[in-house]
Structures are given as structure tokens and as C-alpha cells.
Amino acid sequence: MIERQIVGANVKEFRIREFIESSLRNLGLSDAKLQKTPLGEKIIIYASRPGLIVGRGGENIKRLTKELKENFDLENPQIEIAEVENPDLDAAVVAEKIANSLEKFGSQRFKGIGYRVMTDSMNAGAMGIEILISGKIPSSRAKTWRFYMGYLKKSGDIALTGVDTHYSEAHLKTGTVGIQVRIMPPSVVLPDKIEIFDEPQIIIEDVSEKESTKKASKKTVKKAKKKTAEKKAKTKEESKKKETAKNKKSDEIEAKNTQDSVESKETVEKEPSSSEESQKESQETKKSEESSEQPEGSKSSESSESSDSKESNDSQEQQEANAEQ
């Protein structure tokens, strides 16, 4: 049952696509897809000229929606139109263009039409293109004319998935003419594409003026920061050196002051001792003179006096020592 449902859905989608192609003929139709949504069926139409499909005031879309409802029992069909980015790389658009030009200008100018369309698609960036026109062209005998350019895969998986193929028909007086177009777009990645590098490539990128100015400004900011940091370090070192020099000078001045104070104390201690010695010498000289002048009888008195003077001198010396202590 599930398989039958899937096959039935695909058949329905194919019938809807054929109906849209027949109703929107010669309007640059590329493809049509059917999507199911919770609101209803959504139909996406890809075309090179969406304005012609919409029509004046959306007349063509309204007519399409009515016909789809009646013919295919669609509850709420929502038609969405998408524009083809590069119509020269779309096989359906190219085939329709060839059919329209043959119907307009006849079968006598088929070569010019084929070469013009082929060069346009190659200029758009296609890797390869092949056009087959079969029918009574230009004479009454049927022939197939082949136009090809570039590189095109004919076998393998890429020939089925990567190459865009489409079939179209042109109705002429002599009969119907079949048109087959195959285009390999530039987005196809070939499996046999190999890149060999002999030497490592040096990629040089062009830097814009804004980026260069930004880099230069960043460099200048970094340099300014470095300079300010260096200046701060230098000022700190100089201040440290000045402080050390000031401390050394103050230490030297204190050492000098202490030395001067010690020397002054020593001189003060030495001065009284020298004065005492001079006094003792003067007293001794006086005594010697007096002894020489006085007679022998008065030696006893002198000896007593000398003893008294000695005692007085001893007492004075003791007082001075106590005072110094």
C-alpha cells in the first residue's frame, strides 16, 4: 500500500508539471516542484521571466489555481514563483529559446540560432554544451544536426546527476523538430580533477588602505605605550638614585658631626690636665727658690708647709677627678 501511495504521488506530480509546462509555454519556464504543507499543496515555479507568468494583476496565477483545483483535486494550491539566477546555464530555458526562435525565423537559420545560443551559454561559464536538432531541416529529408563546445561528460554518474538535460519541440510547416540540450554547469566537481603543486605557493594578499591605516595606528599606539613605559621606568630609576645619593650625604654629614663632637670632648678633657701640670711646675719652681733663700733652721717649717701643700694638692686632685666622673 505504501509503495502504491508513493508511486501515485509521483505520477500526480509529473502530471501537474506537464500541465504547468503546457499552460505556461514560451514564458521562460524552467522547472516546477510540488511540496505538501499543513495548509495545503505548495507549487514552486522556476522561470526566467516571472513577470509574464504573474500577468496583469495576477490574472495568470488566478487562472492556474482554478485549473489545478478542478483538474487535480487540490484543496488549497499555493503558487510561488522563483527567478532563475542564470538562464543561459539552464537547459530548459535554452531549449525553449531555440524552439521559439525556430518557430519565428524558420528552419533556414537554424545554424545561426544554434551557434548563438551555444556561445551565450559558454560565455556564462558553462564547462560544456551540446545541442541536437533533429527533423526536416533544412530540406525535406530528416537529419540530426549537432552543435557542441567545451567539455561534456557522456557516461558515469556525473552524466546523470551533474549534466542538465532537457527536451523541447518546435512545430514548423515541414513538421515537428526535436531539440535536445545538455549543459554541464561550472559548479560540477569532477572526480578526476587533480591539482599538483611542485613548490609551495606564496599567496600575497592585497591589503586595502583602511586595513593598512588600522595596522599603522595599532603600531603607533603600541610604540607610544612602550615609550611611556620606558619613560616611567627611567623616572623611577632616577628618583631612586637621587634618594640613595641624599641618604648617603645625610649619613656622611652625621658621621662628620659625630667625629667633631668626639674630638671636641677629647680636647676639653686634655685642656684641664695641661693647666694642672703647669700649675704644679710653677709651684715646684717657687718652692725650690724659697728653699734656696731660707736658712737651714727653717727647713722644718718648710717641710711642714710642703706636707700641707701636698695634702691640699691631693685633695684638689680628688675633687677634680670626682668632677670629671
- pLDDT for the residue 85: 87
CATH topology for 2-84 is: GMP Synthetase; Chain A, domain 3 (3.30.300)
SS3 state of residue 66? helix
* pLDDT tens-place string over residues 201-245: 677 766 566 566 766 677 777 777 888 888 888 888 888 888 888
> How many CB atoms are located within 10 Å of the residue 318 CB?
10
Question: Chain-wide mean pLDDT for the chain?
Answer: 80
Domain borders along the chain are 2-84, 89-184
Above 80 in pLDDT, residue 307? no
* pLDDT tens-place string over residues 5-14: 889 888 888 8
* pLDDT tens-place string over residues 256-296: 777 777 777 666 555 555 555 666 667 777 666 665 554 44
CA proximity to 120, closest of 93, 84, 89:
89
Distances (CA, A) of 228 to 4, 231, 232, 241: 83, 5, 6, 20
d(CA 126, CA 151): 9
- pLDDT for the residue 164: 93
Number of residues that this document lists for the chain: 325
C-alpha cell read off for 167: 527536451
Reported CATH class of domain 89-184: alpha beta
DSSP state of 187: T
| Chain-centroid distance, C-alpha 292 | 122
